[in-house]
Chain A
Amino acid sequence: MPTVTYISFSGDRHSVDADIGKSVMETAVSNGIPGIDADCGGACACATCHVIVEQEWFERLTPPDDAERSMLEFAVDPQPCSRLSCQLVVTEALDGLVVHTPSTQR
């Protein structure tokens, strides 16, 4: 089972086992990870599941579609490696994925 690690703005680390096929957001919410609220439940409608992906992992992800790109462009304080975690589906290849939650999501 792949492991995903979430690091909060204040540096708290949470590593959890992730089901393949679930999104990185769903994995966070189902484990009660602070900082990923996901108000819309994964409809790519709210940007409250914004994460900053560590560089080495960012390049290995499927690129964002237009809707996600637009949402991210106008998210609070977007970074070059920002993604919406509801759009990142956990696969075996993502075992070890590390994402950071932004300061605005606590």
Chain B
Amino acid sequence: MPDATKRAFGAQQRQSGASMKNLEGAVVIVGAGHAGGTVATLLRQQGWRGPVVVLGDEAAAPYQRPPLSKAWLKGEVGLDGLLLRKADFYDQQRIEVRTGVCVAAIDRAAAAVVLSDGERVPYEVLILATGTRARPLPVPGAALPGVLSLRSMADADRLKAALATARRMAVVGGGYIGLEVASVARALGVDVTVVEREARLLARVASPEIAAHYQALHEAHGVRFAFSAAVEAIEQEAGRVVGVTLADGTCIDADLVLVGIGAVANTDLAEAAGLACRDGVVVDEACRTSDPAIYAIGDVTRRPLALYGRDGRLESVQNALEQARLAAADLCGKPAPVREVPWFWSDQYDAKLQIAGLPFDGISRVVRGNPAQGSFAVFHLTAEGMVQTVEAVNAPAEFMIGRQWIGQRHVLSASRIADCALPVKEIAA
């Protein structure tokens, strides 16, 4: 399609609120993670007939990342169990997955992506699913070989190999990645100290009640904690990590350091191409960027959060899959899928944490159940009594019903939520 026609087509479709494209056109997807692999599959399922090309910079075809900090690290699943689809699936579906390729630039004027070796891959529709990278720790010694982070399968391989011989691990950052790795390391008999900048665990992502529960759980498994602690340097002897020095001068012995201090959105390509970015590629509810021919999905996006009347960047499989569904439906001219409540989970030891909703406006929290018994849920309520978030530990019923309440904007009474004599089903009655 000539450029001018394409622009007119795009503009007209945007006005009508659906951006169904020419189903014979070429879709190029940059990023072969959960989001990129899934949107390719969904495009075929929903009738896209043109070429679908997935460009990934890792060696493997699209795979699941969550097990990397859990079952994969413990050796309970192999590559076969991680891969999203069976090997011949993409060929059968006429999806071209190119692994180990690096995209250097987006040439919007020519509607092509440029690979690092200069090859140009033309697109009619471009989908950015570039994900995130681990935030680096800006201290001396952070580049030592025994200092690792965890995002990719290659990272997980390195960590798994290091854990096999490590005796003492320092985990920098008391977030989900660090805590999940800590729980695996303890199972493998490695000593663990978690160093956290804030005064408690999961400071940005979970309530104090959940943080306290997980701290106690880890302590019961022998994990030590340093809170309100800033890392000053990673110490070495003969090129090997021997410890972590904190700002107060304390030195924690460690022969392995895992840095889990958050993720940075891979917006470089989008920014260089002039797409609107703000800690993430800015997209609308159908995952369209500021260029009608370019979509973005997954961890890299700053997306509308309709339930909460704002935008945000979500790092979760649920978000990746939801946005893959939204983009595929929009491109293929299908009705938009039902709006989802964001949710997330984490497995540590024998505790399953499931969180639904986002804790923006919750002004009060209600605990249902007894944390000491290992099964409870924390409900966050707004001033009006609407449930904004539920954090459930080994409490799947509370998670499931909480997720529904959030989506339905139910107003509930705190005392009924807290009353364990009342079955979950009758709380809203």
Contacts and interface: CB of A to CB of B under 8 A. Distances in A.
Interface of A: 26, 29-32, 34, 37, 39-41, 43-47, 67, 70-71, 73-75, 104, 106
B404 A45 contact: no
Contacts of B397: 70-71, 73-74
Given A74-B397, A74-B404, A32 B345 contact: no
B83 interface: yes
Interface residues of B, number: 30
A67 B404 CA distance: 18
B85 A70 contact: no
Contacts of A45: 345, 352, 354, 396
Contacts of A41: 64, 66-67, 317
Contacts, number: 64
A65 B354 CA distance: 18
Contacts of B337: 106
B413 interface: no
Interface in B31-64: 41, 44-45, 64
Interface string B390-418: 00000011001100100000000000000
A71 B41 CA distance: 27
Given A37-B321, A41-B66, A43-B352, A29 B85 contact: yes
Instruction: Decide if the interface of chain B is mainly helix, strand, loop or mixed.
Output: helix
A39 B400 contact: no
Contacts of A104: 338
Contacts of A70: 396-397, 400
Interface in B125-180: none
A67 B396 contact: yes
B400 A40 contact: no
B199 to A, nearest CB: 29
Contact of A46 (B45, B83, B343, B347): B343
Contacts of A37: 321
B338 A39 contact: no
A39 B89 contact: no
B318 interface: yes
A41 B85 CA distance: 12
Contacts of B404: 74
B228 interface: no
A71 B93 contact: no
A25 B305 CA distance: 29
9 nearest A-B residue pairs (beta carbon): A74-B400, A70-B396, A45-B345, A70-B397, A30-B86, A32-B41, A41-B64, A71-B396, A39-B318
Contacts of A31: 85-86, 89
B318 A30 contact: no
B84 interface: yes
A44 B343 CA distance: 13
Contacts of A47: 400
Nearest to A35: B45
A77 to B, nearest CB: 12
B89 A46 contact: no
A75 B424 CA distance: 14
Interface string B71-95: 0000000000101111001000100
A55 to B, nearest CB: 25
A76 B396 CA distance: 14
A75 B404 CA distance: 9
Q: Please indicate which of the listed interface residues B44, B86, B404 has the most CB atoms of chain A within 10 Å of its own CB.
A: B86
A87 to B, nearest CB: 12
B89 A30 contact: yes
Contacts of B44: 32
A69 to B, nearest CB: 9
Nearest to B338: A104
Point out which of A32, A34, A47 has the most chain B C-beta atoms below 10 A from its C-beta: A32
Contacts of A43: 66, 345, 347, 352
A103 to B, nearest CB: 11
A33 to B, nearest CB: 9
Nearest to B394: A67
A34 B44 CA distance: 11
B413 to A, nearest CB: 19
A60 to B, nearest CB: 25
Please indicate which of the listed interface residues A44, A45, A106 has the most CB atoms of chain B within 10 Å of its own CB: A45
A30 B321 contact: no
B22 to A, nearest CB: 23
20 contacts: A29-B84, A32-B85, A40-B317, A40-B345, A41-B317, A43-B345, A43-B347, A43-B352, A44-B352, A45-B345, A45-B396, A46-B318, A46-B343, A46-B345, A67-B396, A70-B397, A71-B396, A74-B396, A74-B397, A74-B424
